[in-house]
Amino acid sequence: MSDETMRLGRERRYLVLLGIICLALIGGALYMQVVLEEAPCPLCILQRYALLLIAIFAFIGAAMRTRRSLTVLEVLVVIAALGGVAAAGHHVYTQFYPAVSCGVDVLQPIVDGLPLAKIFPLGFQVDGFCDTPYPPILGLSLAQWALVSFVLVVILVPLLVSRNRKALR
C-alpha cells in the first residue's frame, strides 16, 4: 500500500468520525427538544441543517478514492461549517442582546418551507424563539457550544488535511 493511499485513508477516517459527531450533535439537539422541551428557533434549525450538510459531505468524502474528489468534499465541509458559524454566531449575539430579533418573522416561513421541515417536522420545524434562555451546559449556552463546534471544524479540517498531505510532497 502506498504512502498516499494510507494518508488519504486517514483523511477518510477523520471524515467518518466528523460525520458521526455531527449526527450525534443533531441527536443531542433532538433529545433536548423532545425530552427537555427546549423548542428550536429558526437559527437552531439552520445550525441543524449545517450539521447535516457537514455529515453528508463528510460521509460522501469518505467514500471518495481520488485526492481531488476528497479535497472537493472537504472544501464543502468547511463551507457548510462556515454557514454554521454564521447561524451560531448570530444566535449567540441574539442571546447576549435579546432586543435584537433572531428574524423569527422573516426566517420562520423560509426555514419551515425547506423540504426537511415537511419530511421530518420534529427535527427541522421552527417552534421557539432565539432569545429564550435555557440552562447552560458546562457554563455555555447551546448556541455557544454550536459556535465552538463549527469554528473547530473550520479550523481543524483544513489543518489536518494540509498536515496530512504535506508529507506527500
User: What's the CATH code, domain 3-164?
Assistant: 1.20.1550.10
With contact defined as beta carbons under 8 Å apart, do 36 and 51 qualify? no
Q: What is the DSSP string of 128-153?
A: S-TT-----BTTB-HHHHHHHHHHHH
> Where residue 118 falls among pLDDT bands split at 50, 70, 90?
confident
| In the predicted structure, residue 137 carries a pLDDT above the cut 90 | no
Q: Where are the domains of the chain?
A: 3-164
89-116 pLDDT, tens digit per residue, is 988 888 888 776 665 566 777 788 888 8
| In the predicted structure, residue 169 carries a pLDDT above the cut 70 | no
3-state SS of 65-93?
CCHHHHHHHHHHHHHHHHHHHHHHHHHHH
Distance CA 140, CA 96 (A): 12
Give, in order, the Cα–Cα distances in Å from 73 to each of 15, 54, 79, 80: 10, 9, 10, 10
Residue type, 149: S
